[in-house]
Amino acid sequence: MAYNFHFDVVDLPPECTELRREVRAFLRSEIAAGTFTPDSERAPFEVARAFAKKVGARGWIGMTWPKQYGGQERSHLERYVVVEEMLAHRAPTRFYGTADRQSGPVLIRYGQESVRREILPKIAAGELCFCIGLSEPNSGSDVFAASTRATKTDGGWLVNGRKIWTSNAHNSDYMIALLRTSAPTKENRRHGLTQFLIALKTPGITTRPIINLTGGHDFNEVTFDDAFVPDAHLIGDVDMAWKQATDELAYERSGPDRWVETLPVLTELVRTAGPAPGDRLAEGIGREVAHLATLRRMSLSVAGMLQAGKSPVVEAAVVKDLGTNWEQALPNQVRLLAPPRGDSDPDTNDTRFEEALRHTTLIAPKLTIQGGTREVLRGIIARGLGLR
């Protein structure tokens, strides 16, 4: 059936202006106090951990969640403003970002009450870090081919197998994992998968680093060898996780945090161009900013739909596809507009520009893979539009 696909125009309500002022003032005072430098990708993890507690104390983690679970019952648009300001200041949100964006909402929707009461307030306080256990060596885009098994035992489940590309697993307290609990059926190849909350300190779990293209340690391989997970940590219905995992991916794909990773190279270009760039540079910057402004309107529209209780799976996929293509191409566009000279004086703006260009060029290839590849997103969009 064809999907009625649209992006409503959303204007931020007045309370968002006040909140934006508050968040900006907080971030500027934290930068001035030396809590973090506006360079989130390189912040040591301990900085991110300490920062999470400060953000939690302000009530800016789990903002939309019910108060009984440590939330603030604020709107998705208010959350959008906080995320946007964190990104604009390149704040180190790595400790709490995943839990705030998707793990917490999954627990609210499908977790057991005892887990909600125990875990959610700690996430909201900035005390717990989460990672996502979907991908496996033979199950990437096709997450529903997962073969890491959970087998029923007394009082819980025994987990055996391997997850891969797990961002931040080495720093995380918990993983939400998609595990095989029975075989797929003839009628539904997605049947037989179940989500679990797994405490990563559990005996039988080994985390090994995988070094990325920039030389950094961000993702990991996580091996389970008879790791015990209690019944209370079962999320949702046994064998039926494909429905809830799809919801989780919509949360994962809907925010601006998914398409502004290379933006610093544009802000550095604007800085080095100064107030009177030549015509060619001004036009080039104008083009990129026009793309950015359009993506922002679309992303805001998705936040508005979430606020209205809708499930904008297709719209979120469109924003992620357009957004990640734009952010991936950006370093090269900037290089064409302002080729680096390579002989810059250290401590000058030029060096900062060249460093931003180097770093964003190296991270660009991953952007259209993480959170769903370009081809897979287009498949989702096509299906949503009734084209396949």
Ligand X SMILES: Cc1cc2nc3c(=O)[nH]c(=O)nc-3n(C[C@H](O)[C@H](O)[C@H](O)COP(=O)(O)OP(=O)(O)OC[C@H]3O[C@@H](n4cnc5c(N)ncnc54)[C@H](O)[C@@H]3O)c2cc1C
Q: Residues in the site for ligand X, rule: CB under 6 A?
A: 131-135, 140-141, 165-167, 219, 366, 369-370, 373, 375-376, 379
Report the residue closest to ligand X, judged by CB.
Answer: 140
Residue 75 or 166: the one with the smaller Cβ distance to ligand X is: 166
Q: C-beta of 141: minimal distance to ligand X in Å?
A: 3
Q: C-beta of 320: minimal distance to ligand X in Å?
A: 12
Residue 187 CA to residue 174 CA, distance in Å, equals 33
Residue 55 or 176: the one with the smaller Cβ distance to ligand X is: 176
For 262, residues 6+ apart whose C-beta sits below 8 A from its C-beta are 327, 328, 330, 331, 360, 363, 364, 367
- For every residue of 153-192, which 3-state class applies, written as one string? ECCEEEEEEEEECCCCHHHCCEEEEEEECCCCCCCCCCCC
- Give CA 258 to chain center in angstroms: 6
Residue 199 CA to residue 196 CA, distance in Å, equals 10
Strand pairing partners for 219? 210
Cβ atoms 371, 143 nearer than 8 A: no
Tell me the two tokens of residue 300.
């805001």
Residue 248 or 350: the one with the smaller Cβ distance to ligand X is: 248
Q: C-beta of 285: minimal distance to ligand X in Å?
A: 28
Residue 156 CA to residue 331 CA, distance in Å, equals 49
Residue 340 or 379: the one with the smaller Cβ distance to ligand X is: 379
Residue 271 CA to residue 150 CA, distance in Å, equals 53
Q: C-beta of 142: minimal distance to ligand X in Å?
A: 6
Q: Which of 320, 304, 302, 322 is nearest to 312 (CA)?
A: 302
Q: C-beta of 219: minimal distance to ligand X in Å?
A: 5
- For every residue of 35-71, which 3-state class applies, written as one string? CCCCCHHHCCHHHHHHHHHHHHHCCCCCCCCCHHHCC
Residue 23 or 178: the one with the smaller Cβ distance to ligand X is: 178
Q: C-beta of 370: minimal distance to ligand X in Å?
A: 4
Cβ atoms 177, 165 nearer than 8 A: no
Q: C-beta of 212: minimal distance to ligand X in Å?
A: 7
Residue 225 or 375: the one with the smaller Cβ distance to ligand X is: 375
Residue tagged 């026009």 (tokens): 290
Residue 135 or 181: the one with the smaller Cβ distance to ligand X is: 135
Residue 7 or 45: the one with the smaller Cβ distance to ligand X is: 45
Tell me the two tokens of residue 76.
């998705």
Q: C-beta of 166: minimal distance to ligand X in Å?
A: 5
Residue 212 or 344: the one with the smaller Cβ distance to ligand X is: 212
- Give CA 111 to chain center in angstroms: 20
Q: C-beta of 386: minimal distance to ligand X in Å?
A: 18
